[in-house]
Amino acid sequence: MGKGAGNRMVANNKKAYHDYFIEDKYEAGVALAGTEVKSLRMGKCSIKESFVKIERGEVFIYGMHISPYEKGNIFNKDPLRVKKLLLHREEIRKMERKIAEKGLTLVPLQVYFKGSLVKVEIAVARGKKLYDKRQDIAKKDQKREAQRELKEKSRW
């Protein structure tokens, strides 16, 4: 996510870091309807089960759930509709070249506001095997244990 002030996280995909090795990150705008933006401002978004595809030189996000805005009545869109991501043509070409490699895919990492604009951070990622996940868990456990021991020593 960008480091400037005024960035406010709406949704985070922690599962992506568990299931994938993140290689490259991109920031993309999202083409949304007005009621969807209002719903996002209230924090009603989920990207846990979503994925990103490139079709005919355009990037789309599937499965991004934005809950309907309560006061939106007839203007509300389908919560799971496919949304277009806004990227520069050269960025899309670069992603297409990388995805052509075996085992690489596009995954959304987080949705946030950058000023008044809704942004999605997407990543080119490589899927982890089961043993990779086990190694990561073991490393986290070791780190946690080391922190705990350090805390215990600092008390005495």
Residue 2 lies in a domain: no
Counting other chains too, the contacts that 133-141 makes at CB distance below 8 Å and 24 or more residues apart are 133/18, 133/19, 136/18
Residue 145 lies in a domain: no
Q: Which domain holds residue 105?
A: 7-127
Q: Coil, strand, or helix at residue 37?
A: helix
Q: Which pLDDT score, from 0 to 100, does residue 72 have? A: 64
Q: Which pLDDT score, from 0 to 100, does residue 110 have? A: 87
Write b or e for each residue in 37-63: b if 16 or more Cβ atoms lie within 10 A of its Cβ, otherwise e: bbbbeeebbbbeebbbebeeeebbbee
pTM over 0.85: no
Into how many domains does the chain fold? 1
Instruction: List pLDDT tens digits, range 65-86.
Output: 887 777 766 666 666 778 888 8
Q: Are 30 and 128 in contact (CB under 8 A)?
A: no
Instruction: List pLDDT tens digits, range 6-58.
Output: 578 888 888 888 788 888 888 988 888 777 888 888 887 888 888 888 888 88
Answer yes or no: is pLDDT of 120 > 50: yes
Residue 153 lies in a domain: no
Residue 138 lies in a domain: no
Residue 75 lies in a domain: yes
CATH number at residue 118: 2.40.280.10
Answer yes or no: is pLDDT of 3 > 70: no
Answer yes or no: is pLDDT of 1 > 50: no
Residue 150 lies in a domain: no
Residue 27 lies in a domain: yes
Residue 98 lies in a domain: yes
Q: Which pLDDT score, from 0 to 100, does residue 142 have? A: 85
